[in-house]
Each structure stands twice: as C-alpha cells, then as structure tokens.
C-alpha cells in the first residue's frame, strides 16, 4: 500500500527535480499553449474573421496520425479549461486564494489543506504572501487580481462541477492569466532556488 506524504514533509532533492520537470511539462507548457492560442483567436477576432480550424498531428516512429476538426474548439477548449484549472491549483500551491468580496488574493485557509496536497512549502520555501505574489508579477501586470479572480471563479463554477450559474471568462483574460502564472512560477519558484528559468513550449508564444 502506497504511503501518503504529509503536507509538511519536505521533498528530497530527487523528488524536487522530478516535480519541477513535471511542472514544466504539464503546467507551464499548457499555460504557454493557452497564451499562444488566445493570441491567435484574438488576432482572428480583431480581423473580423471566423475562428480557424484545427487538425492535430501525432508524429513519431509509427505512421503519422492526424485528427481533423471542423473548428478549433475541440482542441482549444481543452487547453483553455486545463489552463484555468491550473490557475486554480497553482494559487493553492502558492498558498493563496481569492476573496469573494474584495476580489483580492488572501492566504489559503489551512483547514482546506489535505494531507497529500503539494504546496510550495514542500520544496522548503515559505508560502507566498499577497504582496510577494504581486511584486513577482508586477512587470507582467499592474493589476492581476481581477484577472485571477475572474478565471478562478469560472473554474470553480464551470469546471469543478456542473452548475446553473451563468459566468463567463473572456479570451484576453485567459491569455493574461497564463502570462501572469508563468511569471509567478519563474520568479517565486525557479528564481527562488537560483535555477535557470526553463524553456517552455511553444517557446515562441508571444
């Protein structure tokens, strides 16, 4: 039977390396893809064009497989939804939550931590304060909290469970959130450890 790592347990050096590699490949790469796709769709909208179609190609040692789509939604929606879930769990990782009344970042209640939750404290770093987070992303956004609140609320109401609540999130907010969260990880995790900032895909996402 697998043991459950308690929230206060520090990761070993090897575990830190594995977790950071997974973070880049799963979370940061998807934030980057969401940013890239959002910019494409914004460009189409500004040009008064219908959204593009998407064909997914799977290339490897076996014959190439392609999945054609009549629109871009079957690919883009998945990336966007995952990015918004990643925003929600990333704030939790840093030890933050969004206050429903002030729409500001606040400390995540300790009572909402599960024994097997992974937080920044497992890496030997202190939980991030509101001021630390805002300072880390100030070069990216001077007012990130409304964006993060909008995305987190949409994630809570539209992705975590089915609901009759009518909430919406705009594509520019998904793009801006992705940029904010990438910088937060770079500054508060990789820079904090003195590590070289990793390359993320798509690397040319602007």
Report residue 17's pLDDT band, with 50, 70 and 90 as the boundaries. very high
Residues near 98 by beta carbon (within 8 Å), at least 6 away in sequence: 91, 104, 105, 106, 145, 148, 149, 152, 153
Give the C-alpha distances (Å, rounded to integers) separating 96 from 16, 28, 167, 206: 21, 18, 22, 27
Strands 65-68 and 55-58: antiparallel
Q: State CA 166 to chain mean position distance.
A: 23
Report residue 169's pLDDT band, with 50, 70 and 90 as the boundaries. confident
* Percent of the residues in the chain that have a pLDDT greater than 70, as a whole number: 92
Query: What is the domain partition of the chain in residue ranges?
Result: 13-190
Quote the DSSP letter at residue 52.
P
Across 61-88, average pLDDT: 93
Residues near 206 by beta carbon (within 8 Å), at least 6 away in sequence: 36, 39
Across 188-202, average pLDDT: 94
Across 90-101, average pLDDT: 94
- As given in the structure block, the two tokens for residue 79 are 């990336």
Give the C-alpha distances (Å, rounded to integers) separating 71 from 49, 53, 147: 13, 4, 27
Express each pLDDT in 45-72 by its tens digit: 999 999 999 999 999 999 999 999 899 9
Residue 202 has pLDDT above 90, yes or no: no
Helix, strand, coil % over all residues of the chain, rounded to 5: 50, 5, 40
Residue 161 has pLDDT above 80, yes or no: no
Q: Is the pTM of this model over 0.75?
A: yes
Residue 201 has pLDDT above 70, yes or no: yes
Nearest to 23 by CA among 198, 202, 180: 198
Express each pLDDT in 98-131 by its tens digit: 998 999 999 998 767 778 899 999 999 999 999 9
**Cα torsion at 143, 120, 18, 86 (round to 10°)?**
-40
């Amino acid at each position: 039977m697998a043991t459950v790592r308690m929230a206060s347990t520090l990761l070993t050096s090897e575990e830190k390396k594995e977790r950071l590699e997974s973070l880049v490949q799963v979370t940061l790469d998807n934030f980057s893809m969401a940013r890239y796709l959002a910019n494409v769709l914004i460009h189409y909208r500004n040009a008064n064009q219908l959204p593009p179609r998407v064909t997914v190609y799977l290339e490897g040692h076996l014959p190439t497989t392609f999945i054609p789509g009549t629109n871009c939604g079957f690919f883009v929606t998945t990336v966007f939804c995952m990015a918004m879930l990643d925003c929600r769990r990333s704030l939790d990782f840093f030890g933050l939550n969004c206050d429903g009344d002030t729409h500001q970042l606040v400390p995540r209640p300790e009572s909402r931590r599960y024994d097997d939750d992974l937080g920044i404290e497992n890496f030997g770093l202190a939980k991030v304060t509101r001021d630390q987070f805002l300072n880390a992303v100030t070069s990216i956004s001077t007012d990130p909290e409304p964006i993060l609140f909008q995305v987190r609320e949409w994630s809570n109401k539209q992705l975590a469970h089915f609901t009759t609540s009518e909430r919406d999130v705009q594509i520019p907010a998904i793009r801006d959130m992705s940029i904010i969260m990438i910088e937060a990880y770079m500054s508060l995790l990789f820079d904090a450890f003195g590590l070289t900032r990793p390359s993320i895909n798509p690397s040319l996402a602007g």
